[in-house]
Structure 1
Amino acid sequence: MPRAVLRVLEAGPHCSLQDAGRAGMMRFGVPVSGPMDRVAMALAHHALGNPPGAAVAEVSLGGIVLQLEEGRLSVAVAGGGFMVEAGGRRLGSWSVVTLQEGDRLAVRRGPWGAWCCIAFAGVLQAEAWLGHVATHALSGLGGGALTAGRRLVIEDARLLPEAAIPCPVWARAPGDPVALVLGPQERFFGADRIEVLLGAPFRLSDAYDRMGVRLRGPSLAPDGALAIPSEPVLRGAVQVAGDGVATVLMADHQTTGGYPKIATLVGSELDGFAQLRPHAVVRFRAVTPEQAVAMVRLRAAALARRLGRA
């Protein structure tokens, strides 16, 4: 069967192998992990005709350079506005390209976005943990980090016509406020702190990884209850420490936490939020739980139509 082998020549921090993640395992203390931009991964696989949730190489702002050492292979690069160089040709992300033996694929930061993924037209061979390749960055469990010298083997390698992948129309525009639902512990924050959350600008700090990102801005210090019993936390939760600094939890977030959570980002906002870079300015707006459910359903229906599953 056709086989392709890629070697990692360079890789920035936080580059790793991911799949759709370990859904249903949080009750055992296992984080979900998976891609930072789930929509980008879904569209990359769709462009190649891959099964949903198959393994990809996730690339951070540090970029990555791969070289095809053996075989021929088509890949899809999706997510953000990264710059792509494939076999000496300069492209952008949201592209399906074909690599010939000896070609290099370089993915580097471009004008916008913080994460992208490289999907392979074939079956990426990688170590699974608890049935999934998704890498949990802190422990290293799963398919693992992408570092210089590592080789990626793709079995059943296929060639596909080169094409552009339409960027999703819901990619976040600069200045768009991010929708959130207040709670579940907004009762520990005074009305002035809620007003600040919904009125003041915040900046993403450099304390940013797959687990979460700290925000710089006005203090959101709670009135008390910094020792509430630990309880389940979700991706998108905005938890606030005693110093008033808020942290938005991301793909590798812990499964429980004891800091009060002033709000939770709406699920359909998370992929766009993940594409904000450190130092980007972000504002928030509150929606009701019912509005949040409607937003998620609308986004899911739009994605299903794009994937031909409607």
Structure 2
Amino acid sequence: MSFQALVTDRSADGKVSSALQTLTDDRLPQGNVTVDVDWAGLNYKDGLCLTGAGGLVRNYPHVAGIDFAGTVRDSEDSRYKAGDPVVLTGWRVGEAHWGGYAQRARVNADWLVPLPQGLTTRDAMIVGTAGLTAMLAINRLEAAGLKPDAGEVLVTGAAGGVGTVALSLLGKLGYKAVALSGRPEHGDSLKALGADSILPRDEFLAQPDKPLESARWAAAIDNVGGPLLGKLLKQVKYGGAVAAIGNAAGIELNTNVLPFILRAVSLLGIDSVMQPYEARISAWSRISQTLDLAAYGAMVEEIGLDGLPEAAGRILAGQVKGRVLVRTR
């Protein structure tokens, strides 16, 4: 049977481009579960895959899309049967393995998670990799001792996918979240999600740079990396922690040991790609019970498969607010 897919290819001169194609099932990669994809998401990593930036895709032609949700079409694994709703995030799907920017996908059963009760496949992609990562970060921070009465929690890159979901989750869980963003025009939307206050990025970075700065944050979720993370670490309260998620501002970390040896600050790395099954199930379950999807609705944009090339440029340029959902049909 045939299906539509956004196929990304690289020409002989190295130019990467994407176009809709009609494919047949024999073009699908190896795997033991075939899924009819309803929705996929657009993430920063997807932007890299669609444009060829970052060298994430090694083999062309390719179908990108690092997360998707849909219904099992057929399965050779006893854990899944036809008709089961499922969600996939990570495992280098959309990078090394064909992903969700198609009406059909074939994957390893180990990479799937049953759709949590109460969520539709569209809901699952509002959450997506971004929301899963945000929940994993909060779980790690709480395991490190964070409690709602500890003080303010800073969320950097707050207008992006991870940041917006993190703000919503933190607000519902009783935390006082501060949104740090370079896009002040989104301030009202971020407060509506759950941010207690807005801190402009320029104002944050303009503060005097010292080896150890005034302690303000009980914890932080950092989506940016680079100089901002280095400065942030110097402002965390005694015993606090920072969950590091992204590197939109660079992979270099310039800091010193004082926050760690004088304030017992912890830097926690958060990876959503290779998370074990149990951690995924726990995070998805908590998301389904916590995230206010209705309140998040204003932060959702819908596009079709043919809208992905344009949207990829926007997400890499930092021009996407919240989550972009991709309709496959």
TM-score by length of 1: 0.29
Bigger proportion of residues as strand: 1
Instruction: Pick the structure with more helix per residue.
Output: 2
